[in-house]
Each structure stands twice: as structure tokens, then as C-alpha cells.
Amino acid sequence: MVRVDGEVYTGSKTYPDNTNVELEAVANTGYIFTNWGGALSGNDNPVELLMTCDKTVTANFLPEDATGTIGDCVWEDKDADGIRDNGEPGINGVEVNLFDSKNNFLKKKVTSGGGYYNFTDLEPGKYHLEFIYHIGGYLFSPINQGNNDQIDSDVDINGRTGIITLAYGQTDVKWDAGMYRPNILTYSILLSPGLQLISLPLVPTETQSDVAISNLDFNIAAMYLKAAASFRLYARDYTPEEGFIWKDGFGYWLEMNSAGILTFSGSELDNNVLGPVSYVVDTGWNLIGFKSTIPRQPEEYLASINGQYDVIYGYGNGDYFVVGLEGYDLMEPGRGYWIHMLEQGIILPPLQQIIKNISTRQANEMLNAIPSEPNLVILDVRTQSEYDAGHIKGAAQLDYYSATFTEDLNNLDKTSTYIVYCRSGGRSANTLNIMENLGFRKAYNILGGITRWITDGFSIIN
């Protein structure tokens, strides 16, 4: 039935022009309202109708069991390419939260049975999902890679989907999330016989040239120093020329006599640098590396110098190719590139970071998760006296007002996960901004600080 201005509709009604009439669809037992028809559309209920002429409105209902479903799975993206390949397993224990179009939390599921989840009995409407996983140091894979929506990852770097519009009775089970571990300690580059143009996707732990490639059947290696406008060479069985080292950000020519595998150990971040890694490129030709373990669009990787260069060349199969044309639209890990700069610039390779606010409940769940997340740190950025008066158990303390605060933050392990709080959330929010600029991978701010923590019933110690 339909209520008109609160009364059950029993027949036609007459209203003066420009009168707003409230219509409310009321379903009988066993049925639900789906949408309006005639002079109204959509599924808002109740809804107002402006009377400007004779209007006929229809309320549509369907049985309760004709509801919709949203689901799919979470999987380990071992090569971090955003596409689920054969042999990439599901991940159990991932929290999946369902929200409505107004960002109201509706339901929670936890992946199981090989990473799967399903939200059933859903009415038609607009929804979105948030995936949360606090174990193992995983990050979310690149979103919407390839052209097959059944096997790509559908979440952004914060684990959120776009808007999901669900029709009545629809089953939409293609909302999956790929996750990968960012703390890759080794990376291998496959080398073919002949000339190769390569680079290091990690900050290497071993910089001495004769150690890194001693097991390869190579003839000569060369690196280009822009400042000297010349190459530094390393010929097999000879001492490397002065200045030849292995370093991220540089490109290298390597002439192989036979196929081989070049494996480097290293890290994605350099904790000795104040801020994310960066590389200066001068006017003219520069031989650069590609500091990323996943392929990226040139405009994404080179966002800090977009408009300052005019061409990028890669090298493969015995010839040069232009990046962005001829099908080579991605810069790839392990490759080196020639870039022609119109003016000096600084390359700031993008990081995949999670920098966000969380509630006291979410923070408490993270701190008490079983098994606990490795390298989880809770950080109190209040003064020492505030800390001594009462703090969250296990919290480390750094004074936000200290003259060395940024330097102290920079000395922390940027690959760990941090939960940050202060008295009411102001200092900790600013701290997250600093941590983002310094290159921290995962940092969460407790909304409302320790004040809200206590109000919500969570304990502190002195």
C-alpha cells in the first residue's frame, strides 16, 4: 500500500498547484518496496512529490527473497600486478565492511574458505566496500589493471571500492581485492645474451660492482654519469673504473655473453634519507633507473617532472623503443631508460601508502588482533608529562613539540605500521602528514585521541 501524507491511499486526491505531497510505500508481509514508477522514479522512501498537474504514481514491490548479493574474494598478488594469476592463493581473515551511499556502516564479513566473502539479502541501491587487513604487512595492488573485471583488483590503495550500484535481485560477485607484501628483500632480472639496459628497483644493500654480478657471464657493464658527461666501465676480470657502483635511480648497460639472472637484495625505502627517495635529472639526456617493483604509467612514475621532458627511450630486442608509443605504455621494473629533459627536475617515485584516520574501536582491534600484526607500533606524540599521566599500554613516546621531532620520526622504521595518537587528535593528524611526506608506508591516526579512547571505555596505564 501507499500512504499519502501519512494516510493510507484509497482513491484519487486533489491538491492545489505547487503542493508538496509525501508518499510512503509500505510493503505487505513477505514483500519489500523496490522503486517508484509513473510520475516518480528512484527508490527513495518516503519521497515528496510536487503537484503541478494530474500525476499518476506507482509503487513497485517484490518478494523479500528477491534480494541482491555483493561479493568475491581477496587474493595474494605475488607479482603485485593487480591481476590474479594462476597459483595466487586467496587470503583468509580479511575484514570486509559494507557501507551505504551515505557512508553508513551496514555489515561486516571476514574472508574465509580461500579468501571469499558474500553480502546477501541486499536491497537495490548504492554501496561501497572497505577491505581491512592488519597482518603480514600487505598493501593493496594497483586497481583496474587489464581488461578482465573478473580477475583484476577493484580497490584503491586504501582498500576502498568505488560506488557499487545494485539492482533488485542482482548478484554482483566481481568485487575482489589483490594484496601484496611491500617489503620485498630481493628482486631478480632475467638477462638475455647481448646488450641490455637495466636498473635496480630496490635501494641495494650491496653497492660494490664486482660482488653483485660476479656470477654472471658478462663482458662489460657501464653506467652514465651526467655530471661528467661520460661513462664509468666495469669489464669482466678487470677492476671497475672509479665511480662505478650499483645504485637505485641509475640506468646501466650490461653486455651478456650468455643468459643469466641478476639478483639484488635491498629495500624499497632508504631510512637514511629525510623523505622519499628522489633523483635529480639535468637538462638534456639522462640515463635513469626505474625505482619501483611494479610497472607504472610514465605520467604516474614521472609525475613530479611532467611537462619537463619530451621523450623517453627504452631498449630491448636489440633496438630502442619510445615509451608511450608502439605498445610500450608502461615503465617496467628492471629496465633502464634514456629521458630527454627540457629543464632540470627531480623524480619522486610514487609510494603506495596507507595514511588514514581510524576509530578507537578499530585501533583496539588492531592492537589485540590474534595473530598480531608484525612490526605494529603505537606512538604517543604528546609531551612527556602527558604521557606519564596515562598512556595506552605499549605506546612509545615522541614529543610533537620537540625541536628534533621530524628527525626523530625519520629515524623510525618506515616499513612498520604505526598507530598514532595525542590528546584529542590534532597533533597526531599533523604527525601523519609528516609521516606521509617522509615515506612511511602505513600510519593511522586515532580520531579523538586518548580522550576519546578513555570515553569509549578502553584502558590506559600510568
Residues 54 and 74 occupy one common structural domain: no
What is the DSSP pairing of strand 337-341 with strand 284-288?
antiparallel
237, 240, 244, 247: CA torsion to nearest 10: 40
Residues 15 and 90 occupy one common structural domain: no
215 located within any domain:
yes
| Closest to 4 in 3D by CA, of 19, 18, 32 | 19
462 located within any domain:
no
Does the structure show a pLDDT above 70 at 20? yes
364 located within any domain:
yes
Among residues 48, 63, 78, the one where a domain terminates is 63
460 located within any domain:
no
C-alpha cell at 188: 631478480
Which domain does 139 fall in, by range?
68-180
pLDDT band at 327 (very low <50, low <70, confident <90, very high): low
> pLDDT for 148-205, tens place per residue?
888 999 999 889 999 999 987 788 999 999 998 655 567 888 899 999 999 998 888 7
> Which H or E run contains 259?
none
Q: What is the pLDDT averaged over residues 81-107?
A: 90
Handedness of CA 266, 269, 272, 278 (dihedral sign): positive
Residues 87 and 161 occupy one common structural domain: yes
pLDDT band at 7 (very low <50, low <70, confident <90, very high): confident
Residues 171 and 79 occupy one common structural domain: yes
Q: Residue 135's pLDDT is what?
A: 56
Contacts of 402 (CB under 8 A, 6+ apart): 408
311 located within any domain:
yes
Least confident segment among 126-130, 256-260, 410-414: 410-414
Does the structure show a pLDDT above 90 at 381? yes
Can you tell me the distance from the alpha carbon of 1 to that of 86, in angstroms, rounded to the nearest whole number? 52
Q: Total structural domains in the chain?
A: 4
Among residues 313, 347, 381, the one where a domain terminates is 347
Among residues 120, 145, 180, the one where a domain terminates is 180
- How many CB atoms are closer than 10 A to CB 292? 21
Q: Residue 437's pLDDT is what?
A: 83
220 located within any domain:
yes
> pLDDT for 333-377, tens place per residue?
999 999 999 999 999 988 778 899 999 999 999 999 877 777 899
Can you tell me the distance from the alpha carbon of 432 to that of 439, in angstroms, rounded to the nearest whole number? 11
Residues 31 and 103 occupy one common structural domain: no
Q: Residue 185's pLDDT is what?
A: 64
> pLDDT for 120-141, tens place per residue?
989 889 999 999 875 545 788 9
Residues 255 and 399 occupy one common structural domain: no
Does the structure show a pLDDT above 90 at 267? no
Q: Residue 387's pLDDT is what?
A: 94
pTM above 0.75, yes or no: no
Q: Residue 325's pLDDT is what?
A: 64
Residues 207 and 279 occupy one common structural domain: yes
